[in-house]
Structure 1
């Protein structure tokens, strides 16, 4: 009896290969956008002013003034 080679493991299904390719392309696009700056400036500082302004909640409390005719 001749020794036969062990059977090869089954190949991955087509949907697994397509999903892996799509995920790889998306990761590549994110890396390219991050390295080239095409994605813009992201992060918590993006929505804050450039000055040393108070946080939004504090600024809203400080800016509140009751209506003038409420004292009558």
Structure 2
């Protein structure tokens, strides 16, 4: 006769299919991001990427040459 009681050493419940699929998709996306970052296929990123060619970011401070030959900081907004 078969024993109707479960064995004391039963397997833990398995993860649902949606959890497994989500974990695989996230893993693939992370792996893809690492490959793109390491190979440089993503191109240059940062604020300079969205500026026109030849433009430099303006900080509002210019360096001018003084009569003594030493550079001095000049903030045009402060002298108005």
Normalised TM-score (structure 2):
0.52
Structure 2, unmatched stretches of 5+, are 1-6, 60-80
Partner of 2:25: 22
Which gives a bigger RCO, structure 1 or 2 (Cα 8 Å, sep 6+)? Answer: 2
1:15–1:51 Cα change, 3 Å: same
Which has the greater radius of gyration? 2
User: C-alpha offsets along residues 32-67 of structure 1, whole Å, 9 cap, x if unaligned?
Assistant: 000000011112232246554526xxxxxxxxxxxx
Q: How many residue pairs align between the two structures?
A: 52
| Matching residue within 6, 9, 12 for 1:9 | 12
Greater percentage in strand: 2
TM-score when scaled to structure 1? 0.57
Q: Alignment RMSD, CA only?
A: 2.2
Q: Distance between the aligned counterparts of 1:45 and 1:5, measured in 2? A: 64
Where is the helix percentage greater, Structure 1 or Structure 2? 1
4+ aligned runs moved over 3 Å, structure 1 = 48-53
Gaps of 5+ in 1: 56-72
